[in-house]
Amino acid sequence: MSYLFTSESVSEGHPDKVADQISDALLDEFLAYDKSSKVACETLVTTGQVVLAGEVKSSAYVDVQEVARAVIERIGYTKSEYQFEAKSCGVFSAIHEQSGDINRGVERQDPYNQGAGDQGMMFGYATNETENYMPLALDLSHSLLSELAFIRKNEIEKMPYLRPDAKSQVTIEYDDNGTPLRIDTIVISTQHDEFVLPADDSKAAKDAADKAMQDRIAADVKSLLIPRVMAQYPPQVQTLFTDKITYHVNPTGKFVIGGPHGDTGLTGRKIIVDTYGGKGAHGGGAFSGKDPSKVDRSAAYAARHIAKNLVAAGVADEVLVQVSYAIGVAKPMNIFINTYGRSNVKLTDGEIAEKVWNLFDMRPKAIEDRLKLRNPIYFETASYGHMGRTPQVVIKEFNSRYNTAPVICEVELFTWEKLDYVDQIKEAFGL
């Protein structure tokens, strides 16, 4: 019997994502000026206010207020009516130096003996149901909001009422073999201007104005947004968009009050959006604001790298990878593999895990070097998912009033998405 599965995403203007982006922008700034920086930065955003907290060990000095305001402006909170605006919001910093008790467990004379920055378990997942080896429901959810943000920023005349905050949700029907059959439901909630005013103060007039706004937004989503997202996918995905999809667009009827004014945002509160949309598993650790000595982040990236390369090499159609650590200990406690009965090799999952252990050095420093994680590459991860993205080389420039010259660096984004171990895996598994 077929079944339904749902994933959601949130836009860069969602309050939790605003917090994530500020935390990762601060991390990038520290790493740009001092690659050995140890950073764990948390952000809270609410009406007219940003609160920064956490611990940092770095030789760099960063104007945290300036960085936070630049992120808020880039997202699009630039109008006073949003009740959260880049130039006027308060920015309070309570960042202090990293605990010596933590640092002594991480740093070693031989960097490859560097211990994990904390205990915990991390998961990576991959499936062959999409070209980027991500669950389709989550990938579509991200694409809907990424395209909506592109329209808001670059083609204002098409949907001129859009504000930065938005959420999406996609429900897909699968057959018993896990193959997508059709899209069942799409939910889009987008913050908007109050672009239709009521004729008078009566409830009926207000309801009519709200209905007119909702109808306009729903029509634009169906006629403009959906076709553009469809066009981004191969034919086998496009066929899932049928005329039987149920749409819920701004189902409350009105979404004018949003962003940090509508709901307080916190770093690390969208960990399922950041990873696999509820598919596979999650160890519970958030990513944003953490330098790569924190295995919550670096080992989760490494586990995704392993899972994606295993599926791409043909070892299995679907793979979950778990790795776990003890604080201050370099080698992981375990590597666990689950192929969900969809393995293509005559090996048990335990035997696959043993081969993975020998193929991939999962010590924190080895992960940092293999995936080039000691670079300022993190702001780009903080919205529309850390996984399933396209690896690319970019030039980034950092300017600070405390440094006479800008720092210009070439960095590689989303290295954990590279399929650079496929040949080694095929050789190891005899494929």
* pTM above threshold 0.85: yes
**For all residues of the chain together, what is the average pLDDT?**
94
Please say whether the beta carbons of 389 and 48 come within 8 A.
Answer: no
**Mean pLDDT confidence for 421-429:** 97
Look at residue 103 in the predicted model and tell me its pLDDT. Answer: 55
Q: Please list, in sequence order, all residues whose beta carbon lies within 8 angstroms of the beta carbon of residue 274, skipping any fewer than 6 positions away.
A: 20, 286, 287, 288, 385, 386, 387
Binding site for ATP, residues?
Answer: 14, 165-167, 254-255, 263, 269-270, 286, 290
For 183-204, the pLDDT digits (tens) are: 999 999 999 999 999 999 999 9
Binding site for Mg(2+), residues?
Answer: 16
pLDDT band at 115 (very low <50, low <70, confident <90, very high): confident
Using CA atoms, how far residue 46 sits from 14, 82, 84, 90, in Å, is: 11, 11, 8, 10
- Count Cβ neighbours within 10 Å for each residue of 402-414 and write b for 16 or more, e otherwise: eeeeebebebebb
- Enumerate domains of the chain plus CATH numbers: 3-8+136-257 (3.30.300.10), 120-127+295-429 (3.30.300.10)
pLDDT band at 118 (very low <50, low <70, confident <90, very high): confident
For 339-352, the pLDDT digits (tens) are: 999 999 999 999 99
pLDDT band at 252 (very low <50, low <70, confident <90, very high): very high
Binding site, residues?
Answer: 14, 16, 42, 55, 98, 165-167, 254-255, 263, 269-270, 286, 290, 294
pLDDT band at 145 (very low <50, low <70, confident <90, very high): very high
Look at residue 99 in the predicted model and tell me its pLDDT. Answer: 59
Look at residue 104 in the predicted model and tell me its pLDDT. Answer: 55
For 349-404, the pLDDT digits (tens) are: 999 999 999 999 999 999 999 999 999 999 999 999 999 999 999 999 998 887 77
Phi, psi for 194 (deg, rounded to 5) = -85, 80
Pairwise pLDDT comparison (431 vs 225), residue with the higher score: 225
Binding site for L-methionine, residues?
Answer: 55, 98, 263, 294
Distance CA 106, CA 330 (A): 9
Binding site for K(+), residues?
Answer: 42
Is residue 51 predicted with pLDDT exceeding 70?
yes
Is residue 122 predicted with pLDDT exceeding 70?
yes
